[in-house]
């Protein structure tokens, strides 16, 4: 029996176990949407294609499964670009399907034609333009394989309209064999032995954990490494949740807005064990003064990341979970030394803090969210001050409970990503911590949440500024607030207009009751927290500065 290309897409997604698709129909994908009409796949109609990409991304980060999104040709496809770039920078597996004009119209500037494979070439792990319906099933199988193996990432499949209409026999491959694509998953045994030797010799080790720990499911192995070696653990923004922040060995986040304890510890350590991290500039600050006394072990599945930004003494290419498991088997239990005492003092002497003056502080709100949810919520963020306060003041203890745009820093990410996360983890309380600037970039997705009754909670830290940009203007530009003051709508009325619950909070004593009400509502809820306007995120490393030279905090 022959199937149309559209039917092959649906059947292939079913073969891959896909449960949710986020998309927006249009002329070039009408055949695909017609095939979806009678399928068992659950499709969520977003209100903007960027929302579809971010929702697929949030779903993938929350579940560990690849997210799927779909858009029509031309502007539909180009509206996915920011979401695809976000996923690419953070190594998130999503499959993006785009419609395209018919094959005989390609390259003729046809109506709603865009060279989306050319446009997304730098921001996808791989992409395809399928010109023959016979190649479609194999292409989809390859796409899922590429997106989810090695260092994960987005894959785009562009499908001309006539390919979705034409028919062929459906034959879905059982396996994929791609010449030239064989990600290394087992670490080199000699290098693992070298790493074990360095760890045994170290007097002041620090573990630096990134998003690769979360991606590979290596949190247990990381925990064992820390406890075997009694090494303090600091994380990147995307590594948050890979190690419990309530543990005595936790230093919290490292870098520009990391904790003082983490930044000082890395500056003093004699061995840095980098696990699934890429030495981003927001982490290292001035490279010449980053971990100046340390030898460096770098474990990563992507060989291109090793040695790219910092010199490495022991490189180990492989899957983090497998490498750590083998490394742990070669280590002896370490005994306490003065280093653990030093770490305890650094944490005691340099806690995260803010001035309490009776006004509504954003840091206090994050602390209250932690108390009300008992640390069990899935926290999604927008980008800016709200993101950093969430990373600093919510104590994360489990992987895949902190979801945020790291590498690209995409404003407007949080709400659609929260929708995707809630679809993927319906039993979890999902809260989007937002700024009043960032939330307005994709506020229309509140309609998606209401339409499908996806009970996400949006907590807006409303200071009537583009807060992080204003902070930089205050510190580095003599308070010349050039176009960073922002007036927004009445968010409570806006929530009601969309059919959601709107709550306004202006006093500290109102925070906890509002959060409890939002959780009990089991509907989409938007809370407008009117916070102190010129509150800053501290500590802060000035751009290009050394991480041990921090402002504030």
- Between CA 72 and CA 158 the distance in angstroms is 10
Catalytic residue among 468, 471, 473, 529: 468
- Between CA 82 and CA 69 the distance in angstroms is 13
Phi/psi of residue 7, nearest 5 degrees:
-65, -35
Q: Which of 444, 492, 438, 493 is nearest to 465 (CA)?
A: 438
β-pairing, 155-160 vs 126-129, is parallel
Catalytic residue among 161, 260, 321, 422: 161
- Is 468 annotated as catalytic? yes
Q: At how many degrees (to 10) do helices 414-424 and 49-63 cross?
A: 50
What three-state secondary structure class fits 1?
coil
- Between CA 533 and CA 510 the distance in angstroms is 18
Q: What is the DSSP letter of 134?
A: G
- Between CA 222 and CA 215 the distance in angstroms is 13
Q: Which two tokens stand for residue 23?
A: 């998309």
Length of the chain: 553
Q: Which two tokens stand for residue 531?
A: 């916070």
- Is 112 annotated as catalytic? yes
Catalytic residue among 112, 131, 330, 340: 112
Q: Beta strands of 37-179 (E only): which ranges?
A: 42-45, 67-71, 94-100, 126-129, 155-160, 167-169
Burial code of 68-94, b = ≥16 C-beta within 10 A, e = fewer? bbbbbbbebbbbbbbbbbbbbbbbbbb
Q: Which of 487, 450, 398 is nearest to 44 (CA)?
A: 450
Q: What is the DSSP letter of 540?
A: B
- Is 186 annotated as catalytic? no
DSSP result, 169-185: E----S----TT-----
Q: At how many degrees (to 10) do helices 362-373 and 385-393 cross?
A: 50
Query: Judging by beta carbons within 10 Å of its beta carbon (0-12, 13-18, 19+), is residue 134 exposed, middle or buried?
Result: middle
Residues 383, 406: contact at Cβ < 8 Å?
Answer: no
Q: Which of 503, 467, 320 is nearest to 381 (CA)?
A: 467
What three-state secondary structure class fits 214?
helix
Q: Which two tokens stand for residue 120?
A: 């997304």
Residues 160, 102: contact at Cβ < 8 Å?
Answer: yes
What Cα–Cα distance (Å) separates residue 496 from each residue in 432, 450, 502?
Answer: 18, 10, 6
The H-or-E segment that residue 9 falls in is: helix 5-15
Catalytic residue among 16, 49, 367, 382: 49
Cα radius of gyration rounded to whole Å, the chain: 24
- Between CA 240 and CA 406 the distance in angstroms is 11
Q: Which residues are catalytic?
A: 49, 111-112, 161, 468
């Amino acid at each position: 029996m022959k199937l149309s290309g559209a039917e092959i897409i649906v059947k292939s997604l079913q073969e891959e176990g896909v449960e949710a698709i986020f998309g927006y129909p249009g002329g070039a994908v009408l055949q695909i949407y017609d095939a979806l009409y009678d399928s068992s796949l659950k499709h969520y109609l977003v209100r903007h294609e960027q929302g579809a990409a971010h929702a697929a991304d949030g779903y993938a980060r929350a579940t560990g499964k690849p997210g799927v999104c779909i858009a029509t040709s031309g502007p539909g496809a180009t509206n996915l670009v920011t979401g695809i770039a976000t996923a690419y920078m953070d190594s998130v597996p999503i499959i993006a399907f785009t419609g395209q004009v018919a094959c005989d119209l390609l390259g003729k500037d046809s109506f709603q034609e865009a060279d989306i494979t050319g446009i997304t070439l730098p921001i996808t792990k791989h992409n395809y333009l399928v010109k023959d319906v016979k190649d479609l099933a194999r292409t989809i199988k390859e796409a899922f394989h590429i997106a989810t193996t090695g260092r994960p990432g987005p894959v785009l499949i562009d499908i001309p309209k006539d390919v979705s209409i034409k028919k062929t026999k459906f034959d879905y491959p059982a396996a994929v064999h791609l010449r030239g694509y064989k990600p290394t998953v087992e670490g080199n045994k000699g290098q693992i032995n070298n790493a074990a030797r360095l760890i045994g010799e170290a007097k002041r080790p620090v573990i630096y954990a990134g998003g690769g720990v979360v991606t590979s499911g290596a949190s247990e192995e990381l925990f064992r490494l820390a406890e075997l070696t009694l090494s303090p653990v600091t994380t990147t923004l995307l590594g948050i949740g890979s190690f419990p922040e309530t543990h005595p060995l936790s230093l919290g986040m490292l870098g520009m807005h990391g904790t003082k304890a983490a930044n000082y510890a890395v500056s003093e350590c004699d061995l840095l064990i980098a696990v699934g991290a890429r030495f981003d500039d927001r982490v290292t600050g001035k490279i010449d003064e980053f971990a100046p006394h340390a030898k460096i072990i770098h474990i990563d599945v992507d060989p291109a990341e090793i040695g790219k930004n910092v010199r490495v003494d022991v490189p180990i290419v492989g899957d983090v979970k497998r490498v750590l498991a083998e490394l742990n088997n070669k280590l002896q239990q370490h005994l306490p030394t003065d280093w653990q005492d030093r770490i305890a003092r650094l944490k005691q002497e340099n806690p995260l803090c803010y001035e309490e003056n009776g006004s509504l502080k954003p840091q206090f709100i994050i602390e209250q969210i932690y108390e009300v949810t008992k640390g069990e919520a899935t926290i999604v963020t927008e980008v800016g001050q709200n993101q950093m306060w969430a990373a600093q003041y919510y104590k994360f203890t489990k992987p895949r409970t902190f979801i945020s745009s790291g590498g690209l820093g995409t404003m407007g990410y949080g709400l659609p990503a929260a929708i995707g996360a809630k679809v993927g983890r319906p039993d979890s309380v999902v809260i989007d911590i937002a700024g009043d600037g960032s939330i307005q970039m994709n506020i229309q997705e509140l309609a998606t949440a209401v339409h499908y009754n996806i009970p996400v909670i949006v907590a807006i830290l409303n200071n009537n500024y583009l807060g992080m940009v204003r902070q930089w203007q205050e510190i580095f530009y003599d308070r010349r607030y050039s176009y960073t003051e922002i007036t927004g709508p009445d968010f409570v009325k806006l929530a009601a207009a969309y059919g959601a619950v709107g709550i306004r909070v202006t006093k500290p004593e109102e925070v906890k009751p509002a959060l409890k009400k939002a959780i009990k509502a089991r509907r989409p809820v938007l809370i407008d927290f009117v916070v102190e306007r010129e509150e800053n995120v501290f500590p802060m490393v000035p751009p290009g500065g050394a991480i041990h030279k921090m402002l504030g905090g």
